[in-house]
Structure 1
Amino acid sequence: MTWIPDAYSLPTGDHPLRTAAFDALFADALVGAGRLGATRARLVFAAAAEARVRDLVTRDQACPAPFRFTVQEPALGRVAVEVAVPEEHAADLDALVVRATAAAGARLAAPLPRSPGATPAPRATDAELS
Structure 2
Amino acid sequence: MTVPEDWVPEACTLPTSERPLRLAEFGELFTWVLRSERVHDTRLDLVLPADVESAARDVARRESECCSFFTFEFDGAGDDVVMRIEVPVAHTDVLDAIERAQSQ
TM-score by length of structure 1 reads 0.72
Q: 1:107 — aligned with what?
A: none
Q: 1:18 — aligned with what?
A: 22
The count of corresponding residues between Structure 1 and Structure 2 is 100
Q: Give structure 2 stretches of 5+ with no counterpart.
A: none
Q: Describe the superposition over 1:4-29 as per-residue Cα deviations: whole angstroms up to 9, x where unpaired.
A: 111111111111000000101111x1
Q: Describe the superposition over 1:15-52 as per-residue Cα deviations: whole angstroms up to 9, x where unpaired.
A: 1000000101111x110112111111111101111111
1:75–1:34 distance in 2 versus 1, CA, 3 Å: closer
Question: Aligned with 1:43: secondary structure?
Answer: strand
Tell which structure's C-alpha radius of gyration is larger.
1
Of residues 39, 42, 45 in structure 1, which corresponds to 2:42?
A: 39
Q: 2:79 — aligned with what?
A: 77
Of residues 93, 96, 109 in structure 1, which corresponds to 2:95?
A: 93
CA RMSD between the two structures? 1.3
1:56–1:21 distance in 2 versus 1, CA, 3 Å: same
TM-score by length of structure 2 reads 0.88
- Paired letter, 2:26: F
Return the alpha-carbon distance in structure 2 between the equivalents of residues 30 and 83 of structure 1.
13
Q: Structure 1 vs Structure 2: percent identity of aligned residues?
A: 34
Return the alpha-carbon distance in structure 1 between the equivalents of residues 9 and 99 of structure 2.
14
Return the alpha-carbon distance in structure 1 between the equivalents of residues 23 and 78 of structure 2.
28
Comparing both structures, which one devotes a greater share of its residues to strand? 2
Return the alpha-carbon distance in structure 2 between the equivalents of residues 76 and 15 of structure 1.
33
Q: 2:8 — aligned with what?
A: 4
Q: CA deviation at 1:65?
A: 3.5
Question: Aligned with 2:55: secondary structure?
Answer: helix
Question: Aligned with 1:45: secondary structure?
Answer: strand
